[in-house]
Structure 1
């Protein structure tokens, strides 16, 4: 089965990240927050390395999200969130630094689902086109980067306001324009 442009772009981003990251980042192991990203199992609080990991099993979260919203979700968004388990991924673009939102485990995927539903309901209340967030500019927390659910275009947005500026025609182009930054240790 052919991979989508979004999956190819995300895989390419991960390859570039792997090439610059001499050592995998460190994180404190938390058995209450399991993930396939941990390099090893350990006692709680012990520092272990981690790395973004392909999601092995299909996830039905976006099918359930479509049912909840009674609206189809753009396939780029599904491909983006259902490809890897990971902590947020730092990157740079022509506008500055950003953090790509990722999901760590199934529970995190459910948190994402709740946040996306809340975001979608807010958009409906404002009578604005549906978008789904995928990244946050750094250090400015007053903005987010989203994918338009209809067109697949990538936009810079401010909560409660109309989209400010188009960043890319599609998610693959946006991901391909990014330069990965080193993932810091979070011990």
Structure 2
């Protein structure tokens, strides 16, 4: 059974597909494989892609917990373990944003390093632990995160205390979003 975050993300992706029935394109890269590609092509040739459900369970968040000696909020684990995808554009009351996603296993490892680095920076600043999942647009200095203790969704700037709470939890926040069409990257 899907968690609230997984169900909200599934609905968001369904809305995106209804908004953009023809899948967007990006240049094929054989060295950056993904289940998102709808077909293969010569490197650099445009190929259609879609967010694609992950099928294998990842141990990424257990490894992050071991590295930090702290539990990771289940909403973050559910969020990053649901789809393979390029970033997903959306609109919320605050404005435009991009939902961070992972493209493949290698990207998942990059994410692990970034989340751990972010967590260590928070510890050094003696600030509560948050985990980012979206960037505000067009000013991507702002990011949107989940408070690891409360599960609240927060608007933040690097090195600063959270600016404000955006939602009580990640599922509520995702459910409030409106997808924007994904631009072709030919």
Cα distance in 1 between the residues matched to 2:135 and 2:70: 25
Asked if 1:85 is matched to 2:84, the reply is yes
Q: Deviations over 1:68-102 (max 9, x none)?
A: 11110000000000000000000000111000000
Range with bigger deviation, 163-172 or 135-144 = 135-144
| 1:149-160 map, 5 Å | 149-160=148-159
Give unpaired runs (5+ residues) of structure 2: none
Distance in 2, matches of 1:176 and 1:136, equals 17
TM norm structure 1 = 0.98
Q: Does 1:30 align with 2:29?
A: yes
Alpha-carbon distance in 1 for matches of 2:88, 2:185: 12
How many pairs does the alignment contain? Answer: 186
Work out the CA distance in 1 between the residues paired with 2:185 and 2:116: 29
Alpha-carbon distance, 1:38 to partner: 0.3
SS of 1:48's equivalent in the other structure is strand
User: Shift of residue 22 of structure 1?
Assistant: 2.7
Cα distance between partner residues in 1 of 2:148 and 2:118: 12
Aligned equivalents of 2:115, 2:10: Cα separation in 1: 24
Provide structure 1 residue ranges, at least 5 long, that are not aligned to the other structure: none
Equivalent residue number for residue 48 of structure 2: 49
Distance in 1 of aligned mates of 2:69 and 2:44: 42
Superposition TM-score, scaled by structure 2 size: 0.99
Q: Deviations over 1:115-144 (max 9, x none)?
A: 001000000000000000000010012210
Alignment partner, residue 174 of structure 1 = 173
User: Residue deviations 1:28-57, cap 9 Å, x none?
Assistant: 100110000000112211111000000011
Q: Displaced runs of 4+ in structure 1, greater than 3 A? A: none
Cα separation, 2, equivalents of 1:79 and 1:34? 22
CA distance in 1, matches of 2:162, 2:133: 14
> Which residue does 1:72 correspond to in 2?
71
| 2:99 matched residue in structure 1 | 100
Q: Does 1:140 align with 2:139?
A: yes
1:112 maps to 111
What CA distance in whole angstroms lies between the structure 1 residues aligned with 2:53 and 2:140?
Answer: 28
Instruction: Give the superposition deviation at 1:186.
Output: 1.3
RMSD: 0.6
Aligned to 2:19: 20
Shift of 1:12: 0.6
